[in-house]
């Protein structure tokens, strides 16, 4: 997650520089207090009314601060319909084969699939994930 720059301003959590590809950084271990920013920024992404694919890279946090997780989970419940309509997939890159296997066993379960209104997929490298992302994005009209 981005830290404040020299001027003290905090950069966005989501990287939209290649929109409709949305890069989603993983929280740093021990990072707290980003839940409200995450919600506000994701609301702005959905307000675009354009389809997109999320891409995240690296280890997922083992623990998340209770308040941050609660803010994100309440938002996901509230915005589930919009998220399912606009987000084509969440693609995650985990280069480490052991962590990827562990994620495969926990993240890509029927219970997790039911929790999110879009497909989740794991990749060993960023190139493969980007190829899938752009294939998905080329396959549908982006604006509704």
Q: Is the pLDDT of residue 127 over 70?
A: yes
Does residue 120 surpass a pLDDT of 70? Answer: yes
pLDDT tens profile 6-49 = 445 567 889 999 999 999 877 665 677 888 998 999 999 999 99
Select from 110, 130, 108 the least CA-distant residue to 121.
108
pLDDT at 5: 44
The pTM for the full model equals: 0.86
Q: How much is the pLDDT for 121?
A: 92
Asked if 90 and 15 count as a contact pair (C-beta separation under 8 A), the reply is: no
Tens digits of per-residue pLDDT, 63-99?
Answer: 778 898 899 889 999 999 999 999 999 999 999 999 8
Q: 3-state DSSP call for residue 52?
A: strand
Structure-model confidence comparison of residues 3 and 119, the more confident one: 119
Phi, psi angle pair for 120, to nearest 5°: -115, 140
């Amino acid at each position: 997650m981005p830290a404040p720059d020299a001027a003290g301003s905090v950069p966005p959590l989501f990287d939209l520089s290649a929109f409709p590809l949305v890069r989603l950084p993983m929280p740093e271990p021990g990072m707290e207090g980003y839940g409200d920013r995450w919600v506000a920024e994701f609301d702005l992404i959905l307000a675009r009314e354009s389809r997109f694919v999320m891409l995240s890279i690296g280890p997922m946090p083992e623990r998340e601060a209770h308040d941050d997780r609660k803010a994100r989970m309440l938002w996901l419940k509230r915005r589930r319909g919009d998220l399912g309509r606009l987000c084509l997939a969440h693609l995650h890159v985990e280069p480490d084969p052991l962590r990827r296997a562990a994620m495969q066993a926990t993240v890509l379960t029927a219970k997790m699939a039911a929790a999110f209104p879009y497909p989740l997929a794991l990749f060993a490298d960023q190139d493969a994930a980007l190829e899938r992302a752009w294939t998905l994005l080329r396959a549908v009209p982006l604006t509704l």
